[in-house]
Structure 1
Amino acid sequence: MKVAIYARYSSDNQRDASIADQFRMCRLHAEKQGWQIVEEYSDHAISGSSLLRPGIQALISDATRGRFNLILAEAMDRLSRDQEDIAGLFKRMSYSGVKMFTLSEGEVSHLHVGLKGTMNALFLKDLADKTRRGQRGRVEAGKSGGGNSYGYDVVKKLDANGEPIRGHRTINEAQAEVVRRIFRDYAAGKSAKTIAFSLNRDGIAAPSGGDWGFSTINGNPKRGNGILNNEMYVGKIVWNRQRFVKDPDTGKRQARPNPESEWVIQEAPELRILDDDLWNAVKARQGENRTERDESGIADVRKMNHRRRPKYLFSGLTKCACCGGGYSAISATLIGCSTARNKGTCDNRVNIRRDELEARVLNALRTKLVDPEMFARFCEVFTQEMNRLRMEGRAGIASAEAEIEKTERELAKLLTAIKAGGPIEAIVEDMKRLEARKSELRTFLAEAEEPPPLLHPSMALQYRKRVQQLYEALQDEEEEKRIEAADILRSLVDQIVLTPVDGKVEIDVQGDLAGILMISAQTKNPAGGRGGSQVKMVAGARNYRYRHSLEVTI
């Protein structure tokens, strides 16, 4: 019996030794049963309410590949506490022919899944209720009910029994001064983006430890997050603004706002950083920004964030050569460096019209990315390399075929020796060895692959023809054809690097060789046809030399 052991702990009161203890107990049981342990999987400090755990995912993946016959754990709740998840895991393992066994329940059956799954689900609900009860008690006592906020330090205290007392905070004066600076600048009319630039320029670390962005400052007023919306800065703790529910499809938590009547608000004057006048001035300006536009005529940043922006043809493929960040829309027609615009840590301020970028890249795809002369030279070198691989491959195949013939002759001699009354045991051992070798050689010959097929220089011309057809399809009135053509064209591009040069943008189009060859090999029905088997071998693992991108500057 091949066995995989799984261990997990999630509580702050537990530690890594808990994993070691679970492994030790499971190993002892496996040894007593005479089972072979093939792998051990674990998840450290991760809740069992979801299967989005690296250890359990690796276990499931290996189980479906037949690496072991049985999963051994301390108890069912180590595998999952979610009723639906444990039932799904049991169903999947049953399909794969893998049994589940725990030290607490023994071999897991449908009855265990039903009863124990329900008990674990009730345990999670009870734990959540107790946690929220404890958080509410801390808030009503004037303490923090959750994580720490920028501007404060966590105060670590222990009670008489040595247990941690949670929720105590004290003002971090250095960070508090940064908070005051942000509020003063915003009240004076500066935008969140300008404030973020200034903080980054002065080398002040953001709450995350990295660079400041305008969203860190603006946040979301409805949810009460972001520097400008944290009421703790005026000595007020607000708890239960929102609740979290688990998405049944992804297993991830999603925030849901609670009605204001359910909020718990507690005064904490010792945590006040700002005076009421400054706080009210910022709130008044935020209210104006929600309904008015600034002098440039651009809508407030938060309103723009809520508006769905159209994606352009090469969305997500454009990169800034200066910082490596992406290019994004800064208006209806222009795109620019996102890092320069949002954080101010990049000096690239050169923008480009979206339609100009698309036209130049499409022109490069049609005319410059695969030059016929360069492609012909590539095919020549490629052919030489393939011929070398063919010679090496044929040499190995010929050698294997010759060794098989030699092995068969030796087997025939041994058979003759047996008939002549030779030492049977020694002869049988030699025959077994030769039969095993012959089996290895036949397996080698059966799996030996021919090198990739040769390319012809005319593929470059065929590529241009195919891209031209796709370009024309972009102009088609039928939306489905336009989307189809756009997807194929995007597949030809690894990335588009934009470099500012003398106030203009230089564009480096880096194309995927495999995609280019696939387009070249398809002569009909670009979306529905395939013809990819030839190209897959060209870009396969046996020929890494040609897996690089093709690049052209336009």
Structure 2
Amino acid sequence: MRTAAYARYSTDEQRATSIDDQIRRCHEVAKREGLEIEPTLVFSDDAVSGSAKGRHKRPSYQRLIDGIDAGEIRIVVVDELSRLTRDVEESGRLMRYVENVGLQIIAASGLDTRQKGWQAPFMVNILMSRLEVEGLAHRATRGMLGQLERGYQIAQAPYGYRRVKDLDARGEHIGTRWVIDEEKAAIVREIFNWRRMGKSGFDMARALQERGVPVPMATRCKGKPTWLPATLHRLLNNTIYRGVFIWNGSSFTEAKARKTGKAVVTIPFERPECRIVSDELWWACNPSDSSTAPIRGGGKHLLSGLVRCGDCHAKLSVTGSRVSRTLYCPQCDTLVRVGAKATWIGYSSVNAAMHALTEVLTQVFTGEVQKQFHERLRARLLQGPKAELQGLRQEVATLGQRKARVKALLMRPDLDPADFEPELVGINDTLRMLKIRMEALEKGRHGITEETLQNQLDVDALTTLRAVLNGGMPAYQVRAVLGRLLASFELVARPKKGQSVFHIALRPGNYLAEVTSTTVLDDTPVVFEVTSTIGAKRPAVWLVQSKVLT
């Protein structure tokens, strides 16, 4: 019977020469048992964990299994059973090979499946290997947290940084720091500013690609390194650019936790020396409230992606010619056409929406509404961060209750988990961002000063907004500005021909902070109901009426 040998090394304590040592012991065992290992049947995997899921991560192990499946290999010699696998599921597969096709596994450590009662020591070996893996993981976690607490970093440096190793007096490595790479940091700032202006992921990726800007982790890419929208999303979402490293904060960790059902405990570590962008810029690109998510950069009209259906809350599409553009909900339209819905709001015009928007912009930055807003700003200065902290704590508590309800739904066997997982991901993301903001407020980084307040009180917001709307800026930039000012913009009714009713919620504090380059002092929304009516006579005359709802 043809005999094979398999070896593997993975941990930092093992060296590449460990492979040679294991193969040597395999030959010694084979000789003792009267077997001969064929040179073409010596398999080894380098620097790969035995608990790694998926055989694609261990190509030589996969070739060994292929040989067993083909009946070419009937005896496998290893140094220890753990070299084959530490995974319980994979060990069960190996046991079935032994029982069903007559595979023989012989280990230098003493295990021999040819012996009677081999199953018990086989399972004990796997159990001990599994416990060893968990012990190694615990010690590795403890060590990494220790390094973070001492001010050092772990893992590869993100785009915009380079790794610098610190050595002690004896020249031994004691830790790794991330130092800003100014050339790449300039690219990072450009990406954040692009996103704040509303540029889409595809447009940003195309611009970087055309300029030949090096791609993050280019050496690890399969095929030609390429900037992708997903790459930019991960970059924009990384808190290290605002000087905070979050333990267990990666999307990979969250995805793994969702898959295993384990709770993720995140720990923030301040890294002020790693700050590349301001808190204001980072939060503008990563709003914690999903209703204020950055507007996508696609679409030629400035209302594209801004107006939603008051019935199903889907985004309205802008269609028609430049002279006569309309707004409609393709989702409701489809449901009515297929008979799944009896009625829908119907079509409105872009002109009706623009007149409604102009009306509320005028209202919010003049008269009584502006006066109430200024009073809230002065109150914020007197209160300091206490009121905002209280509001954030209440929001965290509410989200915590909502998270518990979603998790309970996930546990129900009669429901599909896929229906609730996206909501849980969104809740976790929002909770993480809220906790970061709370920590900043608790440490005094609230940015409420007399100078900031006066800047926001003095600015002529309406004039600057009109300049933005009529100044010939690209549509995506205007959308980005409006997207931060608008909390919501919905078409809610079409009472009669030529008449549209909108509900528009504005956050004037967001725009004042942007135009004065200061901190957002008040993000309370002001909600209007606006009715836009066009007269029957020509030239057309618009009648626009509005009232404050909250």
TM-score (norm 2): 0.48
CA radius of gyration, larger in: 1
Which protein, 1 or 2, shows the higher relative CO under an 8 Å CA cutoff with sep ≥ 6?
2
TM-score (norm 1): 0.47
